Amino acid sequence: MKKLYQSGLAFWDRYEKPIKLVFVSSMVFFVIVALIMFGRDVHWDQVGVQLGRQSWDHLLILTICGILAVVPMLGYDVTITRLLPGKFSPRYIIQSGWVTNTLTNIAGFGGVLGSSLRAYFYSKDADRKQILNAIAKISIFLASGLSVICWLALFIMFGLHDGGHFNRYAIWLVLGGLYSPAMIIFTRFKGDTLFKDLSWKLESFVVASSIFEWLGVTLFFVLVGWALDVHINLLAVVPLYIVAQIIGVISMIPGAIGSFDVIMMVELVMLGVSRPTAVAWLLLFRVFYYIVPLVLGGILFTHRILKSLNEHFNHLPALIFHQTMYLIGTGLMYLTGIIMLVAASVPDLTDSNKFLQDFYPFTFFLLHQLSTIMFAIAILACARGLQARVKKAFWPTVIVLVIGLLNALFNLALPALAGYILILLLVVWGMRGSLYRYKLQYSMGKFIFDGVIFAGSFILYVVVGIVNTPNYESDHVIPDYLLFPGEHIWLSGFIGLLIGIGIMLWILHYFTRYADPFKNDQTFPRDRVDQVIAQYGGNETSHLAYLQDKNIYFYQVDGQDRLFFMYRKKYDKLIVMGNPVGDQQTWSAALHQLVNEADLYGYLPVFYEVDSTVTMLLHEDGFDFLKTGEDGLVKLADFTLAGKKQRSQRALIHKFEREQYQFSVVEPPFDDNLMAELKAVSDDWLGDQVEKGFSLGFFSQQYLNEAPVGIVRDVNSVLVAFVTFMPTGGKEILTIDLTRHSHQAPSGIMDLLFISMFEYGQENGYEYFDLGMAPLSNVGQSQFSFTEEKMAHFIYEYGYRLYGFQGLRRYKEKYASKWLPRYTVYRKKQSLIATMVALVSVVNQRAK
């Protein structure tokens, strides 16, 4: 006996593949012949009628339940990952398991496709042999659930006496039911080596997964019969389905395609189901249990492949995709909203415009003028949020589109409209990766654009309403496209317009409402500013912080302030004054942080009067620049009144000495008398002009008491001129801010102030004296200059409202040893006009 067994085993090992090939080929031939014979008697037009009779509700139920029926199969992948050394997240297992199982549901669990996919997905810390061993261990349990529900079928047949005419298949059910106990005995008592790492808990889990899988698909098959409204005892279908699956498994055809279907269709006809209905039953079952989950798996697999490619190409494909979806999505949202408003304002215009005739069916006209206009305005408000890349705009947009989709399906019953909305919804979903900002900031351009749309629509609607009044119609010939069907419809739309504007304001308020770290009402952090300047030094503009007319942005490392920026908010711009103040080693990181954080809140930083180092750092971060002036420096070690060049200045100083004008430096705090004298000179110098702030100091007792003041008195001790110091926190540069004199002061008093300050700097060990910037000097004069610089040169030629630029440049050239360029730096591809308007309005703003 043993010898016979060994001979049979050797024969099987030798001829296994040919035997399987002959068997499967025979089964395929039999299935094809049976399907052809069955199909000859099918009225295929009736099959189409059965399929077309399905309602949206039924199709939705079948879609959901078909997907749910596949879910238990994920238990196989959970078990496989427990047998492998790698660790995988639940999300990864669900995605990978869904892709693999929906494919192997058709192609077979243990085939080349299934093993290859699992080897691809679960190769982390595991080789192919380990994965194949894990698959082999699980494969034996796949039919355990089918084996268990064989007993359920037997109970229905012999216990409940339903499906008794299938008694001839009882032997198949009994044999199938014995498989599960035999498998448990084998794995527990005969498979100590192969299944030693498969615990009772893990084995019970995979068996339970198989039971739920087979029970779920059986009930889903019955559900398809319910959806077709077949008039038979559906409980009797359960044994039939189980028998057909057993025969399908025995046939070894992947997915039991054909073998299962032949048995089911033949036996369903014997149960009293018509042939067209039986075919429709099998088609719906295959579509919603196999095809729909497979499509979903294909989407997940495509997503996985694209994600890998995206990572390989440094996220460039995702950037291109999201940007493309962003442009298409915002464009379609605006186009749809605008056409809706135009169509609602001038209803008959669509009859005389080919473009509107083609596009209008794809707008959300909700059968009612009021709701149409409300939806149009809501869409435009959402479009503004999407255009500004605001994260909070995503779900309101989705909600608006879903409402439109449901309305198109269930109210209007327009599949084409529903398809357009669905495409738009998918585009918006695809662009969600482009939405990252916390809030909407309205720029001047955005405000003008939206204002033109909404105000223009309002005016157009009112005008159309006026020309449709009886009094106007009786005296004028009105074009047909301006005619309204009735006054009550126009009034309904007007109410919708007012409600829509309210909805728009609410949506925009929602988009702009967020805690803003760049708000303008900050309290001046004196202690922190003092600490940064004391530890790391200041610069030529750092003292302007004490004007307290600007906000302060600190950059920290390990919770310690390392530098700060001074800025003021205007529209959607942050006008940053001068170079960063503090640790120069952190300039690059600080600039990057400021730019990115400002972008998160919808702001565009504009850097004013920065040097070439900061300009180049920002240029690497996507900024463009415009030269706005040059800063004059006097090298104090080289300055002298001796020599032919300074002969006129030397004579001027001797003249002031003879007339007993005296210069002195006064340290704060200043008494009331001196402050009153300084105020009188300042008021006399200003005349009818108003104080400016931001980039310049202004007269303030608090500000003047922050630093020394150089004063000039005449022979009668009358204060005729003064200059305020701007400490830089070091001895490298000495600079000044306010330089003012009374109209009674003699000519040349400014030279006396500057020369006296030069001498003060020399005596106190300063290296340079900063004469300040000569705005817009030497800008745009070359024919090869940037267009922006030529615009700046135009401003230079025609002067500024308070200062004579050309005269200021010529005056400072008398003393300057060198000139350092100063730039205005702004984000590329942003409107230079809007940037300059915001900048000039801040620089020219009246001092507080």
Continuous segment of H or E residues that includes residue 829? none
Q: Is the pLDDT of residue 30 over 80?
A: no
CA 265 to CA 246: how far, in whole Å?
15
Q: Is the pLDDT of residue 109 over 50?
A: no
**Residue 470 carries which DSSP code?**
H
Ranked by mean pLDDT, the top range of 198-207, 285-294, 746-755 is 746-755
Ranked by mean pLDDT, the top range of 471-485, 535-549, 806-820 is 535-549
CA 446 to CA 794: how far, in whole Å?
27
What average pLDDT score do residues 684-707 get?
88
Higher pLDDT: 174 or 366? It is 174
Output the pLDDT for position 346: 67
**Residue 603 carries which DSSP code?**
-
Taking CB atoms within 8 Å and a gap of at least 24, the contacts of 287-292 are 288/62, 288/63, 288/65, 288/66, 288/220, 288/224, 289/66, 289/69, 289/70, 289/217, 289/220, 289/221, 290/102, 290/105, 290/106, 290/255, 292/63, 292/66, 292/67
| Tokens describing residue 253 | 């055809």
Q: Which CATH architecture has domain 633-838?
A: 3-Layer(aba) Sandwich (3.40)
Output the pLDDT for position 772: 85
Q: Which of 168-182, 436-450, 474-488, 774-788 has the lowest mean pLDDT?
A: 474-488
Helix, coil or strand: residue 576: strand
Give Cα separations from 437 to 391, 393, 516 (angstroms).
Answer: 6, 10, 12
The answer to whether 437 and 389 have CB atoms below 8 angstroms apart is yes
Higher pLDDT: 454 or 765? It is 765
pLDDT band at 12 (very low <50, low <70, confident <90, very high): very low
Continuous segment of H or E residues that includes residue 824? strand 818-827
Q: Is the pLDDT of residue 611 over 80?
A: yes
Output the pLDDT for position 493: 72
Residues 6+ apart with CB under 8 A from 90: none
What average pLDDT score do residues 616-635 get?
89
| Tokens describing residue 565 | 């920026």
Output the pLDDT for position 369: 61
pLDDT band at 33 (very low <50, low <70, confident <90, very high): very low
Q: In what order do the strands lie in the sheet with 662-666?
A: 551-557, 560-570, 573-582, 604-610, 818-827, 623-635, 768-775, 733-741, 719-725, 709-713, 662-666
Continuous segment of H or E residues that includes residue 838? helix 832-843
What average pLDDT score do residues 379-395 get?
93
Output the pLDDT for position 483: 55
Helix, coil or strand: residue 844: coil
| Tokens describing residue 239 | 């044994």
Task: Count CB atoms within 10 A of the CB of residue 784.
Answer: 5
What ranges do the domains of the chain cover? Answer: 42-310, 319-470+482-512, 526-625, 633-838
Opening angle at CA 499, ends 482 and 384, nearest 5: 90
Output the pLDDT for position 362: 47
Which amino acid is present at 378?
A
What average pLDDT score do residues 478-489 get?
58
- DSSP bridge partners of 564: 554, 581
Higher pLDDT: 227 or 39? It is 227
CA 66 to CA 616: how far, in whole Å?
59
- pTM for the model stands at 0.71
Alpha helices per DSSP H over 83-169: 90-107, 112-121, 128-139, 144-154
Higher pLDDT: 573 or 88? It is 573
- DSSP bridge partners of 632: 772, 819
Residues 6+ apart with CB under 8 A from 616: none
**Three-state helix/strand/coil letters over 662-714:** EEEEECCCCCHHHHHHHHHHHHHHHCCCCCECCCCCCCCHHHHCCCCEEEEEC
CA 774 to CA 813: how far, in whole Å?
10
Longest dimension (CA), the chain: 139
Output the pLDDT for position 547: 92
Q: Is the pLDDT of residue 255 over 90?
A: no
Q: Is the pLDDT of residue 415 over 70?
A: yes
Output the pLDDT for position 448: 87
User: Do the domains 526-625 and 633-838 sit in the same CATH topology, yes or no?
Assistant: yes
For helices 44-52 and 275-286, angle between their N-to-C axes, nearest 10 degrees: 50
What average pLDDT score do residues 740-744 get?
91
Output the pLDDT for position 536: 93
* Mean residue pLDDT across the chain: 80
Q: Is the pLDDT of residue 36 over 60?
A: no
Which CATH number is 526-625's, of 3.40.630.30, 3.40.50.1110, 3.40.1390.10, 3.30.465.10? 3.40.630.30
CA 317 to CA 311: how far, in whole Å?
9
CA 351 to CA 356: how far, in whole Å?
8
CA 452 to CA 348: how far, in whole Å?
23
Higher pLDDT: 472 or 826? It is 826
Q: Is the pLDDT of residue 123 over 70?
A: yes
Output the pLDDT for position 482: 56
CA 686 to CA 699: how far, in whole Å?
10
The answer to whether 617 and 840 have CB atoms below 8 angstroms apart is no
The answer to whether 795 and 843 have CB atoms below 8 angstroms apart is no
CA 629 to CA 806: how far, in whole Å?
11
